Structure 1
């Protein structure tokens, strides 16, 4: 289908010949200046027919006829050879163009386009409006995997073509200001990508929850309600990012976690003391090894250190660390990390669900980050990008994965002191080494000036949409080596849905407009009311909105409570943990595996040491009875009612 469309466009342009009789096809100008990359053309307008001047405009391609070859050039500046424009007399226009390449005929008589110039225009060479057939030759891309994504802005009959395998293997970027259509353009590119490569698996990091609506039939949506991302999949740096809420962790607490997490992992695996002390076992498990462990094991190990006689100086550090961990597991927003389903070894199910292996007809995974706490987003993005690379690495290229990062400047900012280093490291590794193992990177950003330039320079195909910031334009100009200055100069005046595309997947830099998507495939934020509705609907449920704001539905900790209460149910009816008191009569059953009693921090009222009693006041009350009984309260009440208020105070 693609080749047939291309041949149809080529045949349609064959009739577009130049002669001196047909209006609009006559000779327009001559070359009066030429350098290694640019030329100037002098054009004289006809006062009787001023429409000829309209054939020239900035951004259009023209052709310079050299006989055996034709040089294609891009118009980037125009001027009048004189101080004023004359309405009655002919005007001389000076047209500045940039030389792009040349069209030549092969010995077999087939016309082809090649970048670069072998024969430069001579002074006086004829310049005229380019033929449609020449435009097809310039922008055609008949390589395997090429597809049509839009049309040229200059000529809507000429298709804009991109080579999907080249775009994915060497990464791509879509940049542009807010509201210019970046998300819609990415939706179109992803649909074309999975159409050309059915084995491709796509992971979209969606901070605005917009892509779910764009892929209703080919994607699964993962959000805070359906996500189970176990905490033990995180490396130590990622886990501490969660515990310390984005702040720099103290070295003492970090060392404690580095020592105790491997011990908690060995306790989960059920190894005995002799096995735990073997050197091979110690080298096999580290704080970064993705092996399950229980938070209760970690808390028990911390309590064990607190109870030791030695090391008094580190006890405040241990208590502070324990409080941090308890605060994290009791925070409803972290339910996806510390729920009951994250206790068992579910790495196979987690990887299969997130990275769509085998996929079941839905190769796209939309990971919605809007509901995840801001201090955890960096850790989640780091885990996902790192797992994508490791999956491709250890799978030896059998799984082709594309990671799309929306608002990429959040994860890999230009300032090395900002952002989360593990996330930057994971994305940079994909950008630098991903093509070797079959993992690709798609970068989407509205501020390329705030994005790490090393990451942007690894994207060999760029779709630059409207950018009004001069710094952002300069970044695009410097990041892509083969981009022309005249092409980039149009960035501030592009329309919505329009882009300048250049790079490895495109033969020649082109100004193009993306095809429109059907309404049911347009991206939009989940649950967001259309801006066309001016009135607020009457059925707004404020109760549900406030409930979501307060995150009332917290994590299910019934498993923790059940194990605690089962330990001391024989002796005491209440158990205190972390300052909270749970009544055993209100316990609900849990389906998670009960923990060993010796690993759970608890305070047993029956066995806890009692404080020394203070000397009783004289006269000493009867200790066998409560001080305030019902009879005592009645007597005091009658005394206060019968006696005058003044008589209750002692006189001086």
Structure 2
């Protein structure tokens, strides 16, 4: 192994200082070697601080003109010094190479060596069918592939965090590429239509299942049904009127047509009867279902919201539509397209999917018939919308439940956001795995660090300077926190910025052609 330097000064079990005459890099892996009696000890470390120093060129040099001469005379006196974080003791075991906790400080004057590529590949490479390739080590001159444990992603959840343009879409795409090749099932909540034209291929076939949400509102919880038509939770009187009317109309239809009444009732007819029931309460000769006088203002609000829903949401509401989770196809990337609905409607739909996914996975694990027989991963794009710090959405409740309980039932959660500080801290803290790309805002960084025990202050310092596609990965999916370059995805997600200038120039060309046609 090539010698890079030597350990100097006092040492600690988790960090040492070093001195070198070689241009070492921040984040570079090294091996510390020394003997404890007859035993050769090898420790894996990472350089987390590095600087160059020349004692002949101090900061307070009085004469700027002398620098050129001093550089020529003292170039050989430049030294590299810094700090190495000790990651663990390298140990050979029956199941391969591993890192063990180091309890004693290494000896001063220990050698600092360049680790062979083979050792790094054995530490961070594939360990079998559970592992997928995510990228390469960022700090090494030689390409060293990095693999992560997909079992741990599903069982311990994952957060993908970055500013806009840092590579979130590509990172998600790499993850989904690998999962579909394992015949895994993924559900994606897509707020911007980025996935509707996505391509993820297995055996030459595109395995993306785009789902335009079509929901039977009577299968939703009454609260979600109310939210769907725009009745807010604090509008208690409107909710009471609405809930009573829905219950009454459903009961009447069952009495008239039997339990399978949905086969015979059109969506417009159902909502028409709902409006008719509410309007009948305005008739003073008919007794009100509630004690006291009906508040006409609240009543009209409910009627207006139902009428608006019949127009605005006619493309997603259908009496008798199958349950949303019945659209999920195993072994595919199932994309629920929320791009044509507002956030409140998206919350009602997403919470229904989250809730019933958990219910069905519990059934599967307990040996009952289930609509979701195999483990799944739910990817929540724009997670701060559904589970914001200050929001109290139903989706947030079910995401919290899944984050706590999903491990036992093979239900994984992956939250993706460019606004980490806006994401609920409890949910973020339950994401035991993280892929963190570039983060610039100190508040974002602090919010993430407070939710993760593995994100050290030294690693935090990398975040603002990462290039697109570069990331810190940490958690159960990898042995130790790593700086990596994410692979370029084979699959395709429409997450790129709009080419503004190309659009402008293209528009000008179209106008020019139209003018030519007019002249002709």
Name which of 152, 169, 176 aligns with 2:137. Answer: 152
**Structure 1 position 128, deviation (Å):** 2.5
Asked if 1:171 corresponds to 2:157, the answer is: yes
Q: Residues 528, 386 of structure 1: CA spacing in aligned structure 2 closer, same or farther, 3 A cutoff?
A: farther
Q: Is the 8 A contact 2:434 2:475 kept in 1?
A: yes
Q: Is the 8 A contact 2:124 2:479 kept in 1?
A: yes
Asked if 1:132 corresponds to 2:117, the answer is: yes
Asked if 1:443 corresponds to 2:415, the answer is: yes
Q: Residues 172, 526 of structure 1: CA spacing in aligned structure 2 closer, same or farther, 3 A cutoff?
A: closer
**Structure 1 position 83, deviation (Å):** 7.6
Alpha-carbon distance between aligned partners in 1 of 2:336 and 2:160, rounded to the nearest angstrom: 19
Q: Deviations over 1:258-313 (max 9, x none)?
A: 333222222232369xx9xxxxx9xxxxxxxxxx9922332233234333535572
Name which of 330, 349, 352 aligns with 2:326. Answer: 352
Alpha-carbon distance between aligned partners in 2 of 1:160 and 1:239, rounded to the nearest angstrom: 46
Name which of 264, 268, 293 aligns with 1:313. Answer: 293
Greater strand share, 1 or 2?
A: 2
Alpha-carbon distance between aligned partners in 2 of 1:303 and 1:449, rounded to the nearest angstrom: 46
Q: Is the 8 A contact 2:14 2:105 kept in 1?
A: no
Name which of 196, 213, 218 aligns with 1:212. Answer: 196
Alpha-carbon distance between aligned partners in 2 of 1:314 and 1:205, rounded to the nearest angstrom: 40
Q: Deviations over 1:72-94 (max 9, x none)?
A: 11111123374836631523433
User: For 2:313, what is the secondary structure of its paired residue?
Assistant: helix
Aligned positions of 1:108-507 closer than 5 A:
112-155=97-140, 156-196=142-182, 198=183, 200-215=184-199, 217-223=206-212, 227-244=213-230, 247-270=232-255, 294-309=270-285, 310-311=287-288, 313-317=293-297, 319-331=299-311, 333-338=312-317, 342-343=318-319, 345-347=320-322, 350-353=324-327, 355-356=328-329, 359=330, 363-396=332-365, 398-415=373-390, 418=391, 420-507=392-479
Alpha-carbon distance between aligned partners in 1 of 2:117 and 2:495, rounded to the nearest angstrom: 41
Asked if 1:522 corresponds to 2:492, the answer is: yes
User: For 1:536, what is the secondary structure of its paired residue?
Assistant: helix
Q: Is the 8 A contact 2:42 2:90 kept in 1?
A: yes
User: For 2:89, what is the secondary structure of its paired residue?
Assistant: strand
Higher RCO (C-alpha under 8 Å, 6+ residues apart): 2
Alpha-carbon distance between aligned partners in 2 of 1:153 and 1:314, rounded to the nearest angstrom: 68
Q: Deviations over 1:126-153 (max 9, x none)?
A: 2122322332233235154112121111
Alpha-carbon distance between aligned partners in 1 of 2:397 and 2:387, rounded to the nearest angstrom: 9
Q: Residues 528, 494 of structure 1: CA spacing in aligned structure 2 closer, same or farther, 3 A cutoff?
A: closer
User: For 1:455, what is the secondary structure of its paired residue?
Assistant: helix
Aligned match of 1:97: 84
Question: If you compute each CA radius of gyration, which structure gives the higher value, 1 or 2?
Answer: 1
Q: Is the 8 A contact 1:69 1:105 kept in 2?
A: no
User: For 1:297, what is the secondary structure of its paired residue?
Assistant: helix
Q: Deviations over 1:498-524 (max 9, x none)?
A: 111111111111111111134xx3311
Name which of 2, 5, 30 aligns with 1:62. Answer: 30
Q: Residues 105, 387 of structure 1: CA spacing in aligned structure 2 closer, same or farther, 3 A cutoff?
A: closer
Q: Is the 8 A contact 1:113 1:138 kept in 2?
A: yes
Q: Is the 8 A contact 1:306 1:318 kept in 2?
A: no
User: For 1:413, what is the secondary structure of its paired residue?
Assistant: coil
Alpha-carbon distance between aligned partners in 1 of 2:466 and 2:483, rounded to the nearest angstrom: 9
Aligned positions of 1:623-642 closer than 5 A:
none
Q: Which runs of 5+ in 1 are unaligned?
A: 1-16, 18-24, 46-51, 276-280, 282-291, 541-652
- Calculate the aligned-residue CA RMSD, in Å: 3.0
Q: Is the 8 A contact 1:141 1:506 kept in 2?
A: no
Which stretches of structure 1, 4 residues or more, deviate above 6 A after TM superposition? 526-530
Q: Is the 8 A contact 1:267 1:297 kept in 2?
A: no
Q: Deviations over 1:445-496 (max 9, x none)?
A: 1111111111111111110101111121222222222333322321111111
Q: TM-score, normalised by structure 1?
A: 0.66
Q: Is the 8 A contact 2:325 2:357 kept in 1?
A: no
Q: Residues 123, 255 of structure 1: CA spacing in aligned structure 2 closer, same or farther, 3 A cutoff?
A: same
Aligned match of 1:41: 18
Q: TM-score, normalised by structure 2?
A: 0.82
User: For 1:328, what is the secondary structure of its paired residue?
Assistant: helix
Q: Which runs of 5+ in 2 are unaligned?
A: 59-69, 201-205, 260-267, 366-371, 512-520
